[in-house]
Amino acid sequence: MNKWIIVLMLFVMLIPAVSAQRYFRIIGKASQRCLDVAMNGTANQTNVWIYERNDINGGAAQLWRFEPADDGYFRIIGKASQRCLDVAMNGTANRTNVWIYEWNEINGGAAQLWRLEPAGGGYYRIIGKASQKCLDVALNGTANQTNVWIYERNDINDGAAQLWRFEEAQ
């Protein structure tokens, strides 16, 4: 059985009732802050950073749904914008920015497809399809408005800048 199918099955078992209709906060291990669309933006190319949990506009800038794609990958879609978590300009290099962008088929949409890799303790690495790099909090930051980018897997501070947990929105 394809290992990504197994990961998908584990994800579904560990996070009850995952569907395209359920939203989650994606919370970083090091910071305990939420993956957040900057300034509650909804336009293409709006930056993504971490920010303390808040309920502005119902917290919609911090709520994400997982839409299954092929081969165990997901589109991660923001509630407020209905745009995908996207690696800027289809980049694959370390430190390439992450923003939101409408779904597109450029390179098969690989800059907008992500897989989950269990890391233990309820945390996951979120790995981009095109780059095979992790969603990463820049420079191991923990403050509000710290940028999010992609970066090769590393174990600095036990890899905490690349580890995420999911909290279902109520």
- Each residue's pLDDT tens digit, 79-134: 999 999 999 999 999 999 999 999 988 777 999 999 999 999 999 999 999 999 99
21: alpha, beta or left? (left if phi > 0; alpha if psi -120 to 50): alpha
What's the pLDDT score for residue 20?
60
What's the pLDDT score for residue 26?
98
Q: Which helix (H) or strand (E) holds 11?
A: helix 3-14
**pLDDT tens per residue across span 9-39:** 444 444 444 556 899 999 999 999 999 999 9
The CATH architecture one would assign to domain 3-14+24-144 is Trefoil (2.80)
pLDDT band at 52 (very low <50, low <70, confident <90, very high): very high
- The tokens for 42 are 């909804």
What's the pLDDT score for residue 154?
92
| 8 Å CB contact between 160 and 29 | yes
Q: What is the pTM of this model?
A: 0.88
Q: Give dist(CA 163, CA 79) in Å, integer.
A: 22
Q: Which residue has the higher pLDDT, 134 or 57?
A: 134
